[in-house]
């Protein structure tokens, strides 16, 4: 299952970074997906797209030219949601990311108007760099609710933020050591180091004999996952420097996804500050509140 590590810095020094984010997406190889590109429906938004019939258009990670970033990680319902006799129809979680990126809504009012019970369990990270002081919000429809995150280093996977799995902690530790030692590393070198760490064979985990596939999905150490039909399909690195220059690099599997795995890497660049001179804060006119599901 997916994992993300990120650093947010409200006051980076010269040649430093406001954001450094790494995301490993684990998914079934048969699941139809479009690799990262600017959306046809909104050319300001850059993301990969889930093309599963009935849930087309959602994503796990994306950015906007206006300075918004969002990522989504599923939480295993078997662990975090009690079994009920009736099943409620739920919306695709990927829409939580695309709806935020394509709207003018700030982080806090966006999560306040969500009805958490409309979705299966999730972790959602929302970031807004349109202001002088970036706003970063963590949101979950488990007992965690939502709260603002301060500048610092974070690791998150498929449990609530306050209960990180080892793979979340290991990546956070690596990122913290790397950035403290090299705070002004150029984007090419930094991206290369992060891609290498996120896909390292040392972190690869294959299913041992005697362990079911469903059980294997809950292995907390597997930062880079491999099985015949499921695994880490995409690694993404997002950098926003002190001048607002955004670099989005995606390394993804290409078809056919078999034992002879082949990868494609592409990079996008845009400047959020240059496209955001006329930004005005948006106030969401709603009395709705975020509903926790326990």
Q: Quote the pLDDT of residue 77.
A: 57
Q: Quote the pLDDT of residue 222.
A: 59
Instruction: Assign a CATH topology to domain 3-271.
Output: Penicillin V Acylase; Chain A (3.60.60)
Q: What is the pLDDT of residues 202-221, one digit of tens each?
A: 444 455 444 444 544 555 55
Contact 6, 125 (CB under 8 A): yes
Q: Quote the pLDDT of residue 101.
A: 97
Q: Quote the pLDDT of residue 283.
A: 32
Q: Quote the pLDDT of residue 273.
A: 61
* 10 has pLDDT over 60: yes
Q: What pTM value is reported for the model?
A: 0.86
Q: Quote the pLDDT of residue 214.
A: 52
Cα–Cα distance measured from residue 118 to residue 134, given in angstroms and rounded to the nearest whole number: 28
CB neighbour burial string for 52-85, b if at least 16 within 10 angstroms, e if fewer: eeeeebbbbbbbbbbbbbbbbbbbeeeebbeeee
The structural domains of the chain, with segments of one domain joined by +, span 3-271
Cα–Cα distance measured from residue 216 to residue 222, given in angstroms and rounded to the nearest whole number: 9
Cα–Cα distance measured from residue 89 to residue 26, given in angstroms and rounded to the nearest whole number: 24
Cα–Cα distance measured from residue 293 to residue 123, given in angstroms and rounded to the nearest whole number: 13
Q: What is the pLDDT of residues 90-116, one digit of tens each?
A: 889 999 999 999 999 999 999 999 999
Tokens linked to 52? 């599963």
Mean pLDDT score, 192-197: 94
Which of 28-37, 60-69, 78-87, 124-133 has the lowest average pLDDT? 78-87
Residue 5: Cβ-neighbour burial (10 angstroms; 0-12, 13-18, 19+): buried
Q: Quote the pLDDT of residue 224.
A: 73
Which secondary-structure segment (H or E) carries 170? helix 166-181
- Residues comprising the chain, all counted: 294
Tokens 């139809």 label which residue? Answer: 32
In sequence order, which residues have a C-beta less than 8 Å from that of residue 259 and are 6 or more positions away?
Answer: none
Cα–Cα distance measured from residue 105 to residue 260, given in angstroms and rounded to the nearest whole number: 44
How far is Cα of residue 197 from the mean position of the Cα atoms in its chain?
Answer: 17
Between 206 and 186, name the one with better pLDDT. Answer: 186
CA-angle at 114, arms to 109 and 115, nearest 5°? 150
Tokens linked to 27? 């998914």
């Amino acid at each position: 299952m997916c994992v993300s590590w990120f650093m947010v810095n409200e006051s980076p020094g010269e040649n430093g970074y406001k954001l450094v984010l790494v995301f490993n997406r684990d998914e079934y190889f048969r699941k139809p997906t479009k690799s990262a590109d600017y959306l046809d429906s909104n050319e300001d938004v850059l993301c990969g797209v889930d093309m599963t019939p009935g849930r087309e258009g959602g994503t796990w990670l994306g950015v906007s030219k206006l300075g918004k970033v969002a990522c989504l990680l599923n939480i295993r319902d078997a662990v975090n949601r009690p079994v009920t006799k009736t099943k409620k129809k739920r919306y695709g979680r990927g829409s939580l990311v695309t709806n935020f990126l394509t709207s003018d809504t700030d982080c806090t009012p966006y999560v306040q108007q969500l009805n958490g019970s409309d979705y299966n369990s999730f972790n959602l990270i929302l970031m807004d760099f349109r202001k002088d002081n970036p706003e970063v919000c963590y949101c979950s429809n488990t007992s965690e609710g939502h709260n603002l995150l301060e500048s610092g280093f974070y690791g998150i996977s498929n449990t609530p933020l306050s209960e990180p799995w080892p793979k979340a902690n290991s990546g956070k530790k690596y990122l913290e050591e790397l950035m403290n030692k090299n705070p002004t590393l150029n984007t090419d070198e930094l991206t290369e180091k992060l891609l290498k760490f996120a896909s390292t064979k040392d972190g690869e985990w294959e299913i041992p004999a005697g362990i079911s596939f469903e059980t294997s999905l809950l292995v907390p150490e597997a930062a880079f996952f491999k099985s015949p039909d499921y695994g880490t399909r995409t690694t993404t690195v997002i950098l926003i420097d002190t001048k607002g220059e955004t670099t989005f690099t995606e390394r993804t599997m290409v078809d056919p996804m078999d034992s002879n795995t082949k990868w494609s890497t592409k990079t996008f660049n845009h400047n959020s500050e240059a496209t955001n001179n006329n930004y005005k804060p948006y106030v969401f006119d709603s009395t709705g509140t975020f509903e926790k599901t326990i």
